[in-house]
Amino acid sequence: MSAGRRPVVGICAAVHPARWTVWTDVDANISPRTYSLAVGAAGGLPIVLPPNEAATRDPGQVLDLIDALVLAGGADIDPALYGAERQPETQETNLERDRFEFAMAAGAIERDLPLVAVCRGMELLNVVRGGTLEQDLKEADRHLHTPGNFSDHDVRLEPGSLAARAVGDERVSVRSHHHQGVGELGEGLVATGWSESDGVVEAIELPERRYALGVLWHPEEDVKSSVVGSLVEASRAVEASA
């Protein structure tokens, strides 16, 4: 990476009807600004990646443009992607987004591109590796007490894990907003973080890759996020070793 060049971090966008000025219920590519602000504060250059059918079929051209990937939070994942029947608790899904991010994540892992997967993103990372999801956590109120508001709780991290190194400690207080979680772990993934209160898996990683981390909480809510900063630094290290 040339001196002064900022690592380019792709942030996958959601698709939802939105409203602004005179426009109502228009399908829009949406990315909470906290993601791009955290990437920028860490020294990266954020770009938002909307679902795209051509990129779903062949993600290589998009992956060529970025140095790291963020799978962001959002809607539930279609249970068909992990071979399950939809339960009543599974909420809004978007198969177009699911398929696009599945392709992007699989391509990033194949290239050994640094990857952070947040909340829904962590769940998708597990599905990409052949894992399953719990469609509704019985103790979800600890992780999502009020829709539209983050819950706060503590997470214990495996000493020496990528998650602990990214956070800089073996325990962390997190902001959380989810009602689903990891079921059976996908191939090669290991659990490295757990909720202190109920043992829900809060961090997973892929040790066979240089940097592939999933966290069930929302580190981007801290503009100076050490997790996002760790991702940006990992992309610098990959470039330096190339």
Name the residues annotated as catalytic. Answer: 119, 218, 220
Other C-beta atoms closer than 10 Å to the C-beta of 198 total 14
For residues 65 and 111, give the distance between their C-alpha atoms in angstroms, rounded to a whole number. 13
For residues 222 and 225, give the distance between their C-alpha atoms in angstroms, rounded to a whole number. 5
CA-based nearest residue to 50, from 29, 32, 21: 29
3-class DSSP state of 173: strand
| Residues in Cβ contact with 174 at an 8 Å cutoff, skipping those fewer than 6 apart | 152, 153, 154, 155, 202, 215, 217, 218, 219
Q: Exposed, middle or buried by CB within 10 Å (0-12, 13-18, 19+), for 88?
A: exposed
3-class DSSP state of 144: coil
Residue matched to tokens 């902001």: 175
